Each structure stands twice: as structure tokens, then as C-alpha cells.
Amino acid sequence: MPEPELPQTRGPRVKLQPLGDKAILVVFDRELNLKANRQAIQFSQQVQDKLAPHIEGVSSNLLSCLVRYNPKTISFTRLRQELQLMLSRFDLVGERPPMETSPVTINVHYGGEQGPDFESVCAQLETSPNDFVATHTASVLDVLALGFSPGFIYLGLHECWREFPRRTALKENIPAGSVLFAAGQTAITAVPIRTGWSVIGHCDLLNFDVSRDPPVKLRPGHNVKLNAVEVTHG
Amino acid sequence: MAKLTLQRVSPHSTVQDAGRTNGLQYGLSASGPMDRPAFDQCLTLLGEAAATGLEFTFLGLSFTYEGPAMAMAGAGGEFLLSINGAAQNWPVKTELHDGDKVDIQTGPNGMYGYVRFAADIDVPLLLGSKSTNLAAQIGGLSGRALAIGDEISLKQGAVLTAAQHVKDPPLQEPDPVVTLRVLPGLHADLLGPNIWHNLFEHEFQISASTDRMGVRLVDAHDRFASMEKLNLISDAVVPGDVQILGDGTPVILMRDHQPTGGYPRIATLIDKDLDRAAQLRPNTRIKFQSISLEKAHYLL
């Protein structure tokens, strides 16, 4: 086993890990939390601002920042040094407010044919559908990440539901605009996908249109407020 | 007006250019040719060519050309080419004339071949690329694979000029057991040294299930079946990642990979070997070999 790269930065340990021979992943934490998520998003923005001409691209994930590079343009050693330098100036200790955006309202239809798992989620959580919706829509949520499929966004965190499991069986062909729920997060599909998450509803957001530039409306760092327009159960 | 009319198409054949390298931030992998050196070889053969070409899979492709004289090159694997019934070399540089019938058949080696022309494939440029991403159903011909009866227009426009001193890809692998070189994957340390060493102990085989998203491997020793199930957070995927599915099946993730994923990735193929892996036919025996990052960069 090769030795993992462990930069000595102040505060928590951030890991710089080569992914293949053309990318470095900057990992801020292993357990999902808002602070590390915001660090990953905001650090990715800084990398974009400072290193864009020297790299192939940067994108944030739930807890990490992927920096893609061409070793013929910038060497691994040089890029790692640049990232370490940026990390040494990046506050890893203090709380991080969300990036300045006013929340985008997303209207959600809970349950019904387009939210077939809504009632079983409520039953598993031993809560009434109305109480679930009240909690689910109570807070402004961060767009934690964009990934898995085009325009697919992860929203969170719902701290009280972090332990809620994924389903054991995958469901096929879940349509765009579906609202998914698992592990303290809500996700919204933008193209049809296969998923193990519970499908609790449907919304009017279509977060991917390849003819637009940029093709997505919501991306990591944005904020969202869910609004229940309909709750179907029983 | 120049156009190709497709008469025979192998599954998962697509329109490709160098790839959509800025798509990842929107949830789109880059796509692009499965065998980049072969795709580039077409350009080298022509000297100047348009950026976009057709990628076909191992059953080949046949089409009729209509239009003014048009330079064409073909490369990738070892396919059997004939034009109007007369056998031609492969790889090839030739000139097509109105009414020519081009027929490319399965040859002794390879899974992916390419044809490129002086003029460009006339499909929309989406996020800076014409590449088809079959998984996301975006690019090329409305996001789909080529189909029999498709009429594909070629349009004169900007051309690329071949780089100097490009080394052509080999027609076939020299050894019966193909060595693919890997670096530790994102979860190698989490999976532990035993799982890592397991990777190198025995051979694998390329399975019949291979496409632009991934190449599944057959593991006669089932060495990952009893691997502890890790509850991993979804994280970045890069082309060449060797991912272990829930039932222990290893998959090499290819050009149309998911942008992020939650399955453990034990290793990542070096960039240099990803195109070679794409060309391996089902039942090919492979073995992995560990390499340093420094060496991998030296090979680029």
C-alpha cells in the first residue's frame, strides 16, 4: 500500500489524494456535516478562481473537491504544493455560513402516484404525514452537491433523519423532478434514474437543460426552501 | 451537401469528438472516444480533419457516401474494410466518392473503431462538445446510439491539424494475458492491504458485459464477494476507477461513467492503459500491476 498523502494543515486534517494520474481529490471529512460540505464547496470556488488556467476543471462533491489536471500542463508536485498553500490559508476551524444566496423556493407534491414511498417513510419514522412535511419544509436547505446524474442535486441536512436507510431494492426509471429521501438528505432528479432512495414526492424543478448555458439552475452553494403544495396520503 | 446513410450498425456506436470536459460540474462525464489514440490516429493519417467522427463497436459499420470527393481515415483495433467490394488496408486513409459503399467488418482484434472525415459530423455542439453520452442521453444524434437508416450530414468547417510525432497505437496486445497498470483507488486504504493484494494475486477476465459506461470483469476466484459492505458517502468517480459492486463484481469505469458513486473503488487504471482496456474483447485474460504515480506520469 502506498502512503496516503497527509498535508499538515492547521485544524482538522484534510487529505489530498491522487485519483488516478490526472486528478487530485481534496477530502475535508469522512462523515457528512454542513461545515465540511461548505468547506468543500467554497474551496472548490477558490481553486476555480486561482488555478483555472492551469487545470482541466474543478468540481465539489459532498465532502471533497475534485481537481482535474493535465500532468503535461502542471506537474502533480506543483499542483499539490499550490493546493497545500491554499489550504494553509483556508480557515478549517471556524463555522462557515452558507454562501450568500437567497433561497429558491421549490414547490413539492408529497405522496400520491409520484411519491409512492411517502407513506412508508412516515410509517418507518413513526410520524404523521403532516408532521413529516412540517419538519421536512421547516429549514432552509443547502444544495450540498450536484452529481450522480445530470442536474441531480443533494439537499440537506435533515439532522434528525440522518440514520434513515436507503431501500434494499433499486427502483427503475424514476422520472425527472422526483423528490428522493435518505440518510438525512433530500435529492431531486433531473433526468430519469435508477435509485435505492425512497421516492416521497414530485416537484416542478427541472434542474438540467443541455440547451441552456449553464445547463443547471441550482448548484452547490445555493439554498433552497421546500414548500408543500399538496400532501396526498391515506 | 455530403452525407452518410448507415446500412449496418453495431450496438452502442456513437458520434464522438474529444469529449465534454467541462460537464462534470453539471453531472455529466466527459464521454469522448473509448480509444483516444486510435481516434487521434485518424487525424494523423489525414493530416487535417474535422473534430468529430463516428465510433463503432466490434461488429463494424457499413454506410453509403453521397457527395463531393471526401477524405476519410479509419483506425482502431483490427477491422476488415472494403469499399465497393474491394478489400482495403486497416488503418486506412482514402478518398470517398459519390455513391461509394463502405463496409467495415469484425476483424481479428479490437472492440472500437473510428472513421473521421475532412468535413464534420453535423450535429449540435452541446456544452462545447458533440460527443454522445449514452448514459445521460445527451449529444450526438439526440443522445442516442447510431441506428440503421440514419442519414448523417457532413459539413465543411473548422479542421484540426495533426500533431507531430504521434506514436500509433498497436493493432493488438503482444501478450495473451494483458497487463493493466493501476494506482490505489479512492477507497484502497479503507479496504485494507488484504483486498489490495487480492487484486494482483490472480488473473481476471473481460466479461461479455462491456459498454461505454464500464467493463465488467469475471473473477473466477470471487475474491471480493465476502468483502465487508462499507457505508460510503457518494464521491467523485474518474475514468479508469475499478469499482467493486455489492455482489463483488469488479467493473472498470469507462468514458460514460457516472460522475459520482457510492461503491468502493479499489484501484484506478493509469490514463495510458484505459484505451487499451477498452479494446479488449470478452474472455481476454488480464492482470493488474501496481505502478507509481511518478512512473504513470512519465509514461504519458
- Per residue in B141-191, pLDDT (tens digit) is 999 999 999 999 999 988 999 987 667 777 778 889 999 999 999 999 988
Residue A100 — very low, low, confident or very high, per pLDDT cuts 50/70/90? low
Chain A: closest CA distance from residue B27 (Å): 4
3-state secondary structure of A135: helix
Cβ contacts of A215 on chain B, cutoff 8 Å: 26, 127
Indicate if A124 and A37 belong to the same structural domain: no
Residue B96 — very low, low, confident or very high, per pLDDT cuts 50/70/90? very high
pLDDT value of position B76: 96
Cβ contacts of B128 on chain A, cutoff 8 Å: none
Conformation bin of residue B27: beta by default, left when phi > 0, alpha when psi is -120 to 50: left
- Alpha-helical segments (H) within A56-184: 76-88, 118-125, 129-136
Is A94 contained in some domain?
A: no
Residue of B51, B75, B58, B80 lying closest to B13 (CA atoms):
B58
Contact A66 B24 (CB under 8 A): yes
Cβ contacts of B234 on chain A, cutoff 8 Å: 61-62, 145, 147-148, 154
Is A4 contained in some domain?
A: no
Indicate if A59 and A121 belong to the same structural domain: no
Indicate if A153 and A198 belong to the same structural domain: yes
Contact A23 B238 (CB under 8 A): yes
Residue A5 — very low, low, confident or very high, per pLDDT cuts 50/70/90? low
Is A8 contained in some domain?
A: no
Indicate if A154 and A215 belong to the same structural domain: yes
Asked which of A58, A88, A118 is the last residue of a domain, the reply is: A88
Indicate if A179 and A221 belong to the same structural domain: yes
| Residues B74/B42, Cβ–Cβ less than 8 Å | yes
User: Distance of CA B65 to CAs A158, B13, B53, B135, B153, Å?
Assistant: 59, 18, 14, 29, 10
Q: What average pLDDT does the segment A92-107 reach?
A: 87
The per-residue b/e assignment along B48-84, b for 16 or more CB within 10 angstroms, e otherwise, is ebbbbbbbbbbebbbbbbbbeebbbbbbbbbbebebe
In the predicted structure, residue B136 carries a pLDDT above the cut 80: yes
The domain total for chain A is 2
In the predicted structure, residue A7 carries a pLDDT above the cut 60: no
d(CA A145, CA A136): 19
Contact A23 B236 (CB under 8 A): yes
Burial class from Cβ neighbours inside 10 Å (0-12, 13-18, 19+) for residue B129 reads buried
Q: Looking at A24-28, A88-92, A179-183, B223-227, which range is the least confident one?
A: B223-227
Question: Which residues between 150 and 209 in chain A have a beta carbon less than 8 angstroms from any beta carbon of chain B?
Answer: 150-152, 154, 190-191, 208
DSSP-derived letter for residue A116 is T
Residue of B158, B262, B171, B139 lying closest to A211 (CA atoms):
B139
pLDDT value of position B3: 98
Chain A: closest CA distance from residue B68 (Å): 32
Q: The domain containing residue A49 runs over which residues?
A: 15-88
Indicate if A123 and A227 belong to the same structural domain: yes
| Position B79, amino acid | F
Indicate if A139 and A222 belong to the same structural domain: yes
Cβ contacts of A150 on chain B, cutoff 8 Å: 26-28, 136, 138
Interface membership of A76 toward B (CB under 8 Å): yes
Asked which of A61, A88, A115 is the last residue of a domain, the reply is: A88
Is A149 contained in some domain?
A: yes
Indicate if A205 and A120 belong to the same structural domain: yes
Residue A10 — very low, low, confident or very high, per pLDDT cuts 50/70/90? very low
DSSP-derived letter for residue A208 is -
Asked which of A57, A88, A119 is the last residue of a domain, the reply is: A88
Indicate if A131 and A208 belong to the same structural domain: yes
Chain A: closest CA distance from residue B297 (Å): 7
**Facing residue for B136 by CB, picked from A17, A150, A216:** A150
Which residue from B minimizes the CA distance to A33? B233
What is the pLDDT of chain A when averaged over all its residues? 92
Task: Specify the CATH number for the domain of residue A224.
Answer: 2.40.100.10
Whether ipTM > 0.90 holds is: yes
A84 compared with B1, residue with greater pLDDT: A84
Q: What percent of chain B has pLDDT over 70?
A: 99
Task: Specify the CATH number for the domain of residue A66.
Answer: 3.30.1360.40
Is A6 contained in some domain?
A: no
In the predicted structure, residue A18 carries a pLDDT above the cut 60: yes
| Residues B255/B30, Cβ–Cβ less than 8 Å | yes
Indicate if A111 and A227 belong to the same structural domain: yes
Domains and CATH numbers, chain B: 2-161 (no CATH), 177-299 (2.40.100.10)
